A = this chain, B = another copy of it.
């Protein structure tokens, strides 16, 4: 098993220098061919997916998971179109923003180069296979992919199309490899291959991310949970406040940028109306004692609630005395993902934007916008909740590192 994954990683490292120096046009040709092959092989991919879904149905797992696994003609077309959108994105490789000539005449540049070999570990959604392959290739990286066991047939069918696309454009098929063996130990062994793999990106549930982070000797970029807040200031306009809170909570409660906690300034005049609006939208409210004076039927919040990501039509609500208290609460209990203030006060907004230590901080907008596409980065490989290397939506640039080029004429020190 060790030998199996070692060979995959070694082959990846070997082709990485070739893929890393391919021109944007060469990479785009491969991406276009991949998209075309996915369309051509749509029937095969659907057939493989049916196999996966049939096996899944025997397990009696949740319908939500089944929906993530399921492919349709429309979803395969979206996969192909997703790759074509990546063709249209600018290539970060070779770009730079630091050029200087030193007093001694040395000319120094810092340019973006691929990271090298990226391993991506994900769960049920087969479309991640196409997304990750395309994002890694466009940024000049070699990919090692490992999807969920339940999507194995679908992923292998997609990989077949990807390989055909790579070959058509003259890239080695080992530019994108898939770990076909489903044992857990293969991943554990892979996470030890320092020097062969440059970055591991786990994408999925909390337990997957924790397990990868704890075991990996290779650098990991985490996509952790989102305990996101909306703070409604004393000066907030009622319509903006209610529509932002309802949108942040209800538009898609199962995602990481949905709101989990509402903080209300004690002087905000429409407190009762806000709670009522949430209840009217079918949201279960869990609140502090101040709210419960007006709504005695509401469940009392415990300390644990302030840390909780419900991922459901549930929200915790707390009344605070000031913007400072709101900031303190968010920095203490939040997950530093996405947090919003609704306010008409310039001072309160400035304090909030400066004071909240999160990847994305919003003034008068829903937390739901934290997304590579919405932020203008194009397709994203995930949303980083850590501070090092990449924070927030990760576009192509996050899949590169830097290199210093120094031009001299016999310079010595």
Contacts and interface: CB of A to CB of B under 8 A. Distances in A.
Interface of A: 17, 20-21, 97, 100, 102, 106, 108, 110, 113, 115-116, 198-199, 219, 221, 237, 239-240, 243-244, 246-248, 251, 327, 331, 353-355, 357-366, 368-370, 374-376, 386-389, 391-393, 401-413
Contacts of A100: 375-376
A407 B387 CA distance: 22
7 contacts: A115-B388, A198-B388, A358-B403, A360-B406, A370-B404, A374-B413, A388-B388
Identical subunits present:
2
B387 A116 contact: yes
Contacts of A115: 387-388
A100 B97 CA distance: 18
B407 A365 contact: yes
Contacts of A370: 404
B219 A406 contact: no
A388 B389 contact: yes
A363 B408 contact: yes
Contacts of A331: 17
A308 to B, nearest CB: 17
A404 B244 contact: no
Contact of A361 (B199, B374, B375, B406): B406
Given A17-B331, A102-B374, A364 B403 contact: no
A192 to B, nearest CB: 12
Nearest to A252: B413
B116 A364 contact: no
Contacts of A358: 403
A244 to B, nearest CB: 6
A330 B387 CA distance: 32
B406 A363 contact: yes
B21 A376 contact: no
A251 B376 contact: no
- Shortest 4 CB-CB distances between A and B: which pairs? A365-B408, A247-B412, A240-B410, A365-B411
Given A369-B413, A407-B364, A410-B243, A401 B375 contact: no
A198 B370 CA distance: 22
A244 B375 CA distance: 47
A240 B368 CA distance: 59
Could you say which of A355, A365, A370 has the most chain B C-beta atoms within 10 Å of its C-beta? A365
A15 to B, nearest CB: 13
A406 B108 contact: no
Given A17-B327, A388-B389, 20 more contacts: A100-B375, A102-B374, A106-B365, A219-B388, A243-B410, A244-B410, A358-B403, A362-B408, A363-B405, A363-B406, A363-B408, A364-B407, A364-B411, A365-B406, A365-B411, A366-B408, A366-B412, A369-B408, A374-B413, A388-B401
Contacts of A113: 357
Nearest to A359: B404
